[in-house]
Structure formats: C-alpha cells, structure tokens
C-alpha cells in the first residue's frame, strides 16, 4: 500500500495549553493544518514576527483587559485570516471584530468540525484574494 504524502498548511493557535492540545491533532486530521501553539499572546507575536502562517486561531480571552486593542495590534502585524474563539462578548466587541476584519467568530463550546470548516473557508478565501482584504486600498 502506497502512503500518500500530504503537505500540511501552517497555522498558529493562541490558546490555553489544554485547549490548544485539543485543537491541534483534530485540525491536522480534518483541515490539514499543522498548528504551532502558544499559551501567551506575546510569545505568539514574537513568533509571528518571523513566520507567516496561513491562518490564526485566537482564544479572545488571552487578549486580556486590552481586548479589542490587543486584537487590533495583532492583526496589524500579520497578514493571515484570524478566527476568534469567544465565550461571552458584548455587541460592541462583535462590531469591532467585524470592523477589524476578523474572518470568523466561533462561540465556545463548539465542535471541531465547525472549526475545521471555518479554517478551510479561511484558507480558500486567502487563496482566492491572494492576500488579506483587511488592508486599505492604496490610491494610484
């Protein structure tokens, strides 16, 4: 029997260690995404300065008290679709997510199949547009 070699797409998960461990292998199996996992936002930002993942999964609670502002800083530094995992967020925060160009928001608890579908859609969207459409158009 011949073994099929698959190239896993590169992603970053910024979540608590337990949550990241539960996400990594199922996503690799379902959406063909290899995740680098970080438990702290600052560690992930340092990693992202040198690496360019295809998708970012972020547990919004790790943004801490800075919340939307920390998310905005992260998104300004990277050019990858961001999928947020949230618990309870206000309507104002949801509006800010949309304004910032967050690709998708996933309410916890969720099924891995839902997340895999969102990751797959983010990867397809990124391929279609070539780069992030969060960036403002440049006048010519």
pLDDT digits (tens, 9 = 90+) for 37-93: 999 999 999 999 999 899 999 999 998 888 899 999 999 998 899 999 998 888 999
Dist. CA 56–CA 100, nearest whole Å: 14
Per-domain boundaries in the chain: 9-78+94-101+119-129
Instruction: Tell me if 42 sits within 8 A of 59, measured CB to CB.
Output: no
Q: What's the predicted TM-score (pTM) here?
A: 0.81
Phi, psi for residue 9 in degrees, rounded to 5: -75, 155
């Amino acid at each position: 029997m011949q073994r099929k070699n698959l190239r896993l797409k590169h992603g970053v998960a910024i979540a608590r260690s337990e949550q990241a461990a539960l996400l990594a292998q199922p996503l690799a199996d379902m959406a063909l995404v290899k995740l680098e996992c970080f438990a702290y936002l600052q560690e992930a930002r340092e990693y992202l300065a040198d690496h360019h993942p295809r998708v970012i999964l972020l547990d919004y609670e790790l943004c801490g008290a800075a919340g939307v502002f920390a998310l905005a800083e992260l998104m300004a530094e990277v050019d990858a679709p961001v999928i947020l995992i949230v618990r309870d967020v206000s309507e104002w925060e949801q509006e800010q997510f949309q304004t910032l160009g967050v690709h998708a928001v996933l309410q916890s608890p969720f099924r891995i199949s839902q997340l895999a579908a969102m990751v797959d859609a983010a990867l397809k969207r990124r391929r279609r547009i070539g780069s992030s459409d969060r960036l403002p158009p440049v006048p010519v």
